Structure formats: structure tokens, C-alpha cells
Structure 1
Amino acid sequence: MPAAQPNQAKLPLRGFWRASATVPIASAIAGLACGGAAALLDRPDLAKIAWALGAAPVLAVLCWKIVSSLRRGDVGLDLIAALAMAAALSIGEVLAAAIVALMYAGGQALEAFAEGRASREMSALLDRAPKTAARYHGATLSTVPVAEVAVGDRLMVRLGDVIPVDGVVTGSAAVLDEAALTGESLPVTKRDGDAVMSGSTNVGQAFDLVARETAARSAYAAIIRLVEEAMTSQAPMTRLADRYALGFMAATLGLAGVAWWISGDPVRAVAVLVVATPCPLILAVPVAIVAGMSRAAKVGVLVKGGAALEALGRIRTLVVDKTGTLTHGEAALSTVAPAHGWSETEVLRLAASVDQASQHVVARAVVRGACERGVVLELPDEVTETAGEGVEGLVGARRVRVGGQAFVAKALRETDRSALAAAVPPGALAVAVAVDGRLAGLILMRDALRDDVQATLDRLRRSGVSRIVLATGDRRDVALSVTRDLGLDAIAADLTPQDKIALVRREKARAAVMMVGDGVNDAPALVEADVGVAMGAKGAAASAQASDIILLRDSLNGLADGLDIARRSRRIALQSVYAGIGLSALGMLAAAFGFLPPVQGALLQEAIDVAVILNALRALKE
């Protein structure tokens, strides 16, 4: 996962702490309540036992967490809280220990809540992977587990099926949607003998496939492995609070030691530790982050964990996919280029009339574009369709052929064939139209930019993003033509999932990186980035699961909103931290000079906590 994702070795510890988060807070509350009741009944002996029993489970869980952290070489603020509780219990200041236990357990419960949705499951990616395949046995078909498919097996891939293994098309042509794998938004036609990748979706008629790899060695499985490898290799994010841990802990222990050495009274050292219990850090940061997550959800930005929101506030580089992210991710009519003697409207009317009989995604886009332009269509007669190539039929008295260049060229005279070849722009998806054996024109398709792209990128730059890089699996000429006016800092095209990971790693060497994508091919790069953002409205489930943040609305506006919210939440959290540490420092000095006993110090710390929490809650407001 991106920076918020822990190493696999750390997952058991985090799961353990989240699962047991309710036990410490319940124990601390029950201990304080029972001890308070015993004190009111004039039973100080029972009160001390209740307070000690309430603090003990919190201290036990805390010690387990500290030991596990130290094994990894991590030193955090938890150590100060443990020292304060242990020291207070050792000298009989059990009420102070119970108060510290409540403060600490409350902070951890808040943090557990903030990270409750931060687990990175690969279930959606695995669920999309085909579980079975239709395999030929002679002239019959049988459904077999995909793991049983061997190299050389002949399979049938039906309409809507995800291709289970890498293979070669045999027989009739295949029309495939490879957007989730390559980033190419428009469907591609694969003919007899062409290689196809697992993970592509059949959007045309059923076709036969001869397996050239097993499922475990195919392209889709390789992407899954990339995601899993990135999950295990990515370092965990340092919590905002822990960045101040070592300095604060050194100052605290130094002051407590000096107070004890000068006064000879261990109670002063305990009082310093109690006042120094870093609840402004433990409490204020999770509260501000949870508040920011709540605000982000209201604008359609689902942040999966507090660490992700913290990281979002530090982003300086944006790496963004093209298809389905900057663009809508589907074919749309761009322009009509009529041949001599034809009008745009007439070419579009005849082509769209015939295309009404086809379920091909490009044919549907042509019909949709004609209707949007107000063109009145006729019902075609005598329609025949060649799968993956084109369609032919009668519109009135005219015979119209619509489809790919090679398909339409078969119906043209030699001079028109030459004119057709010269008219098709390089790299463009062109639908050719022939009428009564003569070239009538071309219909050019495109994947249009989202309306809000330019405004969103401008807002991101104003919010502190200094570098924007396009990373796409599409051809470079297509990427350049689509994004020419966006003012991007760099464009990387023809990328594989491995290439995208390498690009993100290079950019991370410059600054904190946010990656935005929507396809299966983006999932490994989303994992590798400091913050991965998925287009959740129409994007692939794999990218949504691999990301830290999901844009719930089919718009990039939420990206800029989320960044603004993250920066504000982080700024408020830091304000609370600085104010809380400053007030705690003053209390520590008072305790060191003997003006603040442990219990009063713990109560003072509670008052500081309330102040910093109220300030942190400002992150909920506009």
C-alpha cells in the first residue's frame, strides 16, 4: 500500500490493537468509576484497588505494543505514557495512574476509529479474476476451474467474460475492452492469430481462445503479484505525533531526573511524567484527522485512514492516469470528415442508421453522437454484421457499409481505397463510411477530457502541488493530443504496470507523491505512491481497493477539495500539538519545582486535553 499501508509483519500488531481497543478504554472508565464510588463510601483501600485494576490492563496492552515497536526499531510517545503509569503505580499514586490510563486509552480508541477503514484488502481484485473457464473437450464445452487450464487448451470466451488466461484468438475476431489493463479507452479488435491478455473483457460476440499461459503465469495474475509485492515492501507511515516523540521524551526524562536528583523526592519525577503524558499529541492529532475525514466524506472523498489524510496534506507531486481519470474513459463522436460531394449530416445520418443494428461499443457511440446532434435516423434493412469489423445494410435505397478501414475498403474502388488510407489521421480511431461502393467520409472518435480537468489542476497547483505528471498506458501521440493544453510538467506514455511503479518511485525521490487512477493497471502504482486515489464512481474495483482515498463522485473536483481539507486538518492538528506541548511544558516545570502533585498534574493534563480537542474539532467546520 501507499505510505499508510503497514508491512505484512506489522499487520498482526495493528489488528491486535484495533481488536482490543475497547478493552483498555472500558477498563479505565470502569476503574475510575468504581474507585470514585468507593472513595465516596469512605473506602480508600477499595478505591485504590479499583483504580489500580482499571489502569493495569491499559498498561499491559501498552507494554506489549512498546515491546513490539522496539523490536522494529520504532520509538514513540507510548513509552512516556507507560513510564508515567508504571511510576505512579509503583509509589502508590494509583489515582494519577488511572487518570493517565483513561487519557491514553481514549487517545488510542480515537486513533483506532480513525484507522478503522484503513485495511488494504485485495478481495475485489481477486474477485474480478475469473474462477472458471469454458473449455472444449472435442465438440463439447465444460466449465472447469481456471487453475486447471493448461497451455494449448481451447476455450470459449462469451460476451461480458473476463479473459481467464493469456492466449491467442482462433477463428472469429474478438472485440475487447482492455482499458483496465492498458489504459486504452476504446475497444480493440483482435483477429485470428492475435495475442490477447488475461483481464481484458469481451465486449463483442463469443470467440475461441487457445491458452498460451496458465492462469498463474498470465498478465492479470502478474498485476495482482505486483500489488501484493508493493504492499509488503512499502514502509509504514510515521504518525504525525511520533515525529515529535524522541525530542519530547528526552526533555521529559531529563527534567524528571533532575527534579528527583535535586529534591530527592521520587514523587516530583512521577508528577513530571504524569504532566508530560503526551495526550495533546495522542488525542489532538486523531481528533483533527477524524474531523477532516468526516468533512472529506461530505464532499464525496472517502479517506480510508487517518494516516492517508496526514499524508495527503504533504503532497507536492501529482501523478495522474489519463483514461477514466482525466478523460471520461469511453468513446465519443469527435468530428465527421465527409468526402467530396457529401455533407457531415448526411454521412452521420446514414452511418448511425446502420449502426443502430449493432451492439458494438463504437457503433453505439456513433448512434449516441448522432442523436445528440439532432440527426433523424432511419431503420435499416438487410443488415449483416461482421464481428469486430463493421456492419452493412440498406438505408432507404442506399447500401451503407460502416466500420474499420480494412472492412470498408473491401467495398471500395482502388481510387477510393487510396483516398481512405490517406484520410485516416495517424493514431486516430476512425470509422469509415461507404455508400453504394463509394467513400462517403470518416467519423472520428475520441475520449474527451472531463469538463472540470483544467479547473481542478489549477486548484491543485494553488493548493501546493508543484509538479503534475501524466502516466498512461496509451500511445504517446494520443496522450499528447488529449492533454496538449493542460500545462502538464511531464508526460509518460506506453507504460506497463511495472513502468508506472518505476515512475512513481522516481517521483517519490523528489517529493511526496499522489497517484490518481481508475484501472486494474493503475493498482500497483496506487499502492506504491505516498497517497493512492481511485476514481470510485466508474473505476475498477481493484484500484478502489488498492487506494488510500476514493473519489465517490465521477469528478476530479473532489481531489482538490480533499487536498484543501487535508492541509487544513493537518494545520489544525499541528496548532493543537504546539499549544498542548507548550502548556504541558509549563506544567512539567511546575511539577519539577514541587508546585504540582501527581493527581493535580493529571487533572491539569485533562484540562489541556479538553482545550486541544476543542481546537482540533475546528477541522469539522468549513
Structure 2
Amino acid sequence: MNGPAPDGYRWLSKEPVIAGVALAAIATHLVLRFALDTGGTLLGFPTPAVPLLAALTVGGIPLVAGLVLRLVRLDFGSDLLAGISIVTAAVLGEYLAGTLVVLMLSGGQALEAYAVRRASSALLALARRMPSRAHRKRDGQVAEIALAEVVVGDLLVVFPHETCPVDAVVVEGHTTMDESYLTGEPYVLSKVVGSGVLSGAINGEGALTIRAEKTAVDSRYAKIMQVMRESEQRRPALRRLGDQLGAVYTPVAVAVALVAWAASGDALRFLAVLVVATPCPLLIGIPVAIIGSVSLAARRGIIIKDPAVLEKIDTCRTAIFDKTGTLTYGRPELTDVLPGEGFTKEDVLGAVASLERYSRHPLAAATVAAADDAGLAPAAAAEVSERPGEGLRGTIGGRAVQVTSRKKLVAQLPASAGLLPPLAGGLECVALIDGRYAATFRYRDEPRAEGKAFIGHLKPHHGFERVMLVSGDRESEVRYLAEKVGITEVHAGQSPEQKLALVREESRKAGTVFMGDGINDSPALTAATVGIAFGQGSDVTAEAAGAVILESSLERVDELLHIGKRMRAIALQTAIGGMALSLIGMVVAAAGYLPPVAGAVTQEVIDVLAVLNALRASLTPRVLTDYAS
């Protein structure tokens, strides 16, 4: 069964139960009719027919209710023939044929329900992280209040292992906080007085007193949730493969059935044609191919969160890459420390690393690692602050240390422009000590070794027409990477909201595959036709993406592209081949040589052939990738 369950099934949502009831009813009918040779009536019906009537009631009524609603909306899905067959069978008293159709339909829906995730799972993953209460401190007393009651300036206490409720600044205490939800990386950062804390971060062993700088609805975490919710609501509603085929097949089958009825004057001909025409290769074969491909992908370290990506990925024509952790390894390394006049490399590196231990910036870990490698012991830090637009500040060993960008330094101290080394590719930051320019730090997040070969592989082998690099990093670093891997279309300095807008715009033009790493990419991952997340990262990122590459490897992306293409080919073979056999059966039934029950059995044989073909999708092919780095 393709697409969401019909509306009539949503209130029941028990497809496996319906299939079990239908199967039990058929078995009971056969025992009563042949083994026990039961005669007589029950409730006015022949006794062997009663279990079939029960199955038709349990399985048919929800389907017919949903069918009527879909007809009102002019939504003609691939289950339309099955619904008409059930109604016609009940009217004509062909209860066995109708129950066989219920079994086929509910079995297909059970398979589909097994394969498809809920669309709201990303939002649920986000919502589960946030607390609903906060601990406000007033006049030395701590009271629990609703999160919505927090106002800017409130003093809040965050107990050990609690989630921080709002964006705030530490005013008392010393602990660590896990902010990995923001980046997808395992950032556990120290927090002291003056440190900023983010909503959604998980506190460590010590209690903190913080001053709220934003209300809960204005905090960064809430903004991410808002963008995610909007993206979820505006996600393209692409029609599923089976419904596309069913939209053509259904009117043809109904027309043949009506002609057979009109020519013969026998209503059973109408039912016989519809029963053998019921498109179970669409209802069952395609979900089996999808599930088999999901299983194959899992064995290759690719988790398919949304099976629809397998249908869509081969139709996408635009590939959009985030930079960090996708085309790079996501581990920047400090390559140079260029000290200013009057400073030594060791002096500046020790002071800056002592400050950077309290920063969440991706470059901070590289600085700290370089200082540790050099054997520089960290100095005591105080008054640490990392406010937007101001860089990182603090007092280290009695000296005022600031880490900022070249542009902000020149704006702050214009005379320092002549002291700075020439610009170079890669990442950099500058340091001031006691208000004087102290050093320039240069970093490099190296591109993946296979990046250039993979990018060159996309257009000729997978039909992509455009390849884009979209990143929040500065232009020089993004263009450096783009040149290394062979991408000419670059968008630098993009916020999560800007990434989302760009992906939405490109998705309106052509199908898009977006590849990213980290929760900041979650909105774009959700808005893309196909979203692929790299690495295990954050649970939220994994939920937002349609597929997750557990081993951060571009070769695995190529395998996913091939699995999707192969699944689509097998699904089309299954659907079109099955429909062709059904069309032959329809002609035989229209001529009067195939009664309804025999037609249902014939359709079951076609189903078996379709499922056997669809099962090929679960087998590992001899060649799964034609990409070599």
C-alpha cells in the first residue's frame, strides 16, 4: 500500500490485526464449509459465511469510510479498486472474494506501516529535551515555576544533570555543560561566572545560578524548534510511486469492468474483473522492495529513517553540501601561531588556550589540543564572556585576553591593521592581551581525501545538474574548500534560517539532496527532498534527516544513491509487471472464464510473483557502487 493509510484506517491503525482477522475468517470458512460440512444459517446467513461477514465488517467499513472521504477530495489512490471490490463483493454476496481483497489490502498496509516513520518524529525529539519547569531564585528562596513565567533578568538555578531552560549568563557556580545538541559534536564545556549558557544544554555535576537573557520562546532552542516546525509543515508533499501508477491504472480497470458488465448483463463479471485487477503489486510489492532496500542499506551502515527517500533520491537533480563534517573531517587543527611584537608563541598560546577551554566554538578544541601537545599548563580563568558580536573575553592570570576575528579587531583598533599578517586560506582568529594585538591563529579543516573524486562523480553517474556548497563559515574558507573539491557554486556565511530558505527555493525548482552534520542543519535536512545526515551526531539531527550515514563516508552516500536507483527500478518492474499480468486476467474475467473467487486466487498468484521479484531489493548486488576515490 503506497502513501499514508486512508483516513478511515487512521482511527483503527490495526492493519496487522485486520490481516489476521481476515486470514482467520478465511480459514474458519473453509473448515466450516468443507471439513465440517456445516449447513444451516446463523443470523440469517449461511453459517460458513458468518466469519467472512465479520472480517468484511472489521476490515471493510474503515476502508469504505476512508474511500468516501478520498473520493470527496478527488484523491484517487491505488487502493480505490480494492475498496470498490469489497463493496461490490458485499452487495453481491461474494463474501470470500471480498475477504480475500481485505487480506491483500490490510497486508500491504501493515508492510507499509512497518516501513514508514512518523513525520513529527524530529519535533518530538526536540520537544523531549526541553523542560517544562524552571527553578527561580528570589530573596534567597528557590521556587519552581512554569517555563513560560521566566522573564529576562530572572535568576534561575540549574541543578546537576538538568537541562538549561533559557539562554542565560552564569552568575554563580562552576560546572560543565553538554552542548552537543547544538553542533552534533561531543562538546562538554566548562562554565564559570560570566560564561554564556544555551537553552537545551545539559548541566554536569555542579549547580549553577544563571541570569536569564531571553525568555523561553526567544531562546535559541525555541527558535530551532520553530524553524523545524515550519519546515515540517511546508515539506513538499510528493505523490508516492504507487499512487502515480494507480492514478492511470484504476480508471482503465474500472472501464474494463463496466464494459464487461454492460456486454454480459452479469454483475459478477464486474466484480470478477475488479478482483483480479486489484493492484496488489502496487499495494504489497512496492513496500516489500522498500523494506528490502532499507535492510540492505542498514547492512551497509546507512540508516533509512524515511523510506520515501529511496523513491525520491534517484529523481533529485541538485546536490547541496554543508561544509564541516560533510566534505571535511570536521576536526580543525591549529596550523600556525603568528605572534605580534613583544609576544612569544608559547605565551600567547597558553593564555588563549586557557580561555578557549570555556568556549563552544569549533576552533577552541583545536587550540586547547595544541596547547596540551605543547605541554602548556592551563592558567586560572575568570570573568569569561562570549557574547554575540564581541568574541571571547576573560581574565587569564591577571591579564585581559580577547579572541576575535580580523574584521572586528580592525574595527576595534584601526591601528592594528598594519600589524596583521596577510590573509590566507583557511580559518583564523586573532588574540589581544591587555588591549594589544598579540597573535594570529590559523587553522585548517582538511577536505576529505575522497571529496574531489566524489563531487566529480555526481553529475555523470547520478544525473545531478547542480552541486552547491552552503556553509555558515566565512567566504575565504568556504571557497578554499570548494576549489579543493571542485565545486563552483558557493554560498558562505549562511545561518540555519538562510540555509533553510535556500533549500526551500531550490526544492521548488528541482529535487534536492542536502547533506549536513549537526543540529543547525536540521531545518534544511527536513526541507530538502532528501536529507542525509553524516555521523551518529545528535538524535535530533538523525530524526530530521531521511537517511543517516553512520560511518561518515562519501562512498556510503554513493551506495545510498545506487540503492535508491535499484529500489526504484525493482519497484517499477514489480508494479508494471504485476499490472500487466492483472490486465491479462481482467480480459479473461471480462470474457466470463474467471469467476470472482478464482480471480482473487489468480491475483494472489500474481502477488507471490511480485513479492518474489521485490525481494531482490534485499539482496546485496555484485556491484553496489561505481565510485572509487
| TM-score, normalised via structure 1 length | 0.80
CA distance in 1, matches of 2:485, 2:426: 20
Paired residue for 2:53?
A: 52
Specify the code of the residue in structure 2 equivalent to 1:35: H
1:590 to partner: Cα distance: 0.9
Match of 1:249 in 2: 250
What is the CA-CA distance between 1:400 and the residue it aligns to? Answer: 12
How far does residue 277 in structure 1 lie from its aligned partner after superposition? 0.9
Give the root-mean-square deviation of aligned CA atoms: 4.7
Q: Is the 8 A contact 1:5 1:235 kept in 2?
A: no
User: 2:263 corresponds to which residue?
Assistant: 262
Cα distance in 1 for partners of 2:338, 2:566 equals 51
For the Cα contact (< 8 Å) 1:536–1:551, is it kept in 2? Answer: yes
The verdict on how the C-alpha distance between 1:494 and 1:355 changes in structure 2, with shifts beyond 3 A counting, is: closer
Structure 2 counterpart of 1:578, from 557, 572, 576: 576
Deviations 1:147-199 (A, max 9, x none): 33212335678999976445679999999999976999999999999999756
1:614 aligns with 2:615: no
Equivalent residue of 1:326, what SS? Answer: coil
Instruction: Structure 1: state its 5+ residue gaps.
Output: 394-398
Q: Which amino acid aligns with 1:60?
A: I
Which of residues 26, 29, 41 is equivalent to 2:23?
29
Q: Return the alpha-carbon distance in structure 2 between the equivalents of residues 180 and 101 of structure 1.
A: 45
Residues in 2 aligned to 1:446 and 1:283: alpha-carbon distance in whole angstroms = 51
Q: 1:196 to 1:112 in 2, by over 3 A?
A: closer
In 2, the alpha carbon distance for the partners of 1:379 and 1:475 equals 30
Distance in 2, Cα, partners of 1:391 & 1:180: 28
Q: Which amino acid aligns with 1:16?
A: W
CA–CA separation in structure 1 for the residues paired with 2:481 and 2:189: 19
- 5 Å-filtered alignment, 1:309-324, equals 309-324=310-325
My pick for the range that moved more, 468-477 or 358-367, is: 358-367
User: What fraction of aligned residue pairs are identical, expressed as a percent?
Assistant: 35
In the alignment, the residues of structure 1 paired with residue 383 and residue 426 of structure 2 have an alpha-carbon distance, to the nearest angstrom, of 23
Q: SS where residue 548 of structure 2 aligns?
A: strand
Partners in 1 of 2:259 and 2:520 — Cα distance? 59
Aligned twin of 2:388: none
Please give the alpha-carbon distance, in whole angstroms, between the structure 2 residues aligned to 1:271 and 1:13.
25
Q: Which residue of 2 aligns with 1:599?
A: 597
- Which secondary structure state, in structure 2, belongs to the residue aligned with residue 550 of structure 1? strand
5 Å-filtered alignment, 1:162-177, equals 164-166=165-167
Which residue matches 1:224? 225
How far apart, CA to CA, are the structure 2 residues paired with 1:426 and 1:158?
44
Give the Cα separation in 2 of the matches to 1:406 and 1:232: 38
| Deviation readout 1:242-264 (Å, 9 max, x if unpaired) | 11223212111111111111122
Cα deviation digits, residues 383-417 of structure 1 (max 9, x gap) = 77774557878xxxxx999974799xx9xxx9x97
How big is the shift at 1:369?
4.6
**Structure 2 partner of 1:112:** 113
Is 1:481 the counterpart of 2:480? The answer is yes
Cα 1:40–1:115, aligned 2, differ >3 Å: closer, same or farther? same
2: CA distance, partners of 1:380 / 1:612:
68
Partner of residue 16, structure 1: 11
2:627 corresponding residue in structure 1: none
2:431 & 2:161 partners in 1: Cα distance?
26
Name the SS for the 2:11 alignment partner. Answer: helix
Match of 2:283 in 1: 282
Q: Which amino acid aligns with 1:297?
A: A
CA–CA separation in structure 2 for the residues paired with 1:219 and 1:381: 31
Whether contact under 8 Å (2:349, 2:371) holds in the other structure is no
Q: Would the alpha carbon gap of residues 293 and 328 (structure 1) be closer, same or farther in structure 2, given more than 3 Å must change?
A: same
Taking the aligned partners of 2:555 and 2:515, their CA distance within structure 1 comes to 13
Q: Please report the TM-score for the alignment, with normalisation by the length of structure 2.
A: 0.79
Would you say the 8 A contact 2:339–2:348 is kept in 1? no
Counterpart CA distance in 1 for 2:358 and 2:70 is 57
Contact 1:183 1:322 in 2 (8 A): no
State the match for 2:71 in structure 1.
70
For the residues of structure 2 that align with 1:222 and 1:229, how far apart are their CA atoms? 11
Q: 1:11 & 1:87 partners in 2: Cα distance? A: 19
Aligned residues: 593
**Partner Cα distance (2:485, 2:377) in 1:** 42
Contact 1:339–1:440 (CA<8 Å) still a contact in 2?
yes
Q: Would the aligned equivalents of 2:348 and 2:439 in 1 still touch at CA under 8 Å?
A: no
The alignment partner of 1:322 has SS state of: coil
Flag structure 2 segments of 5+ consecutive residues without an equivalent: 40-45, 385-391, 621-629
Pairwise CA distance, 1:596? 1.6
Instruction: Tell me, yes or no, if the aligned pair for 2:340 and 2:419 is still in contact at 8 Å.
Output: no
Q: Does the 8 Å CA contact 1:316/1:467 hold for their aligned counterparts?
A: yes
Counterpart mapping for 1:206-605 below 5 A: 211-337=212-338, 347=345, 351=349, 355=353, 359-360=357-358, 364-366=365-367, 368-369=369-370, 377-378=374-375, 380=377, 387=384, 388-389=392-393, 404=403, 420-422=419-421, 428-430=427-429, 442-461=440-459, 462-538=461-537, 540-605=538-603
Q: In 1, distance between residues paired with 2:194 and 2:489?
A: 37
Q: Partner of 1:396 in structure 2?
A: none
Aligned 8 A contact 1:301 1:552 in 2: yes
| Cα shift at 1:109 | 1.6
> What amino acid sits opposite 1:552 in the alignment?
L
Inter-CA distance 284–475: structure 2 relative to 1 (3 Å threshold): same
SS of the aligned residue for 1:122 comes to: helix
Shift, 1:558, TM fit? 2.7
Report if the CA contact (8 A) 1:182-1:496 is conserved.
no
Spell out, residue by residue over 1:291-322, the C-alpha distance to the aligned partner (whole angstroms, 9 max, x if none): 11111111122212332322223222222222
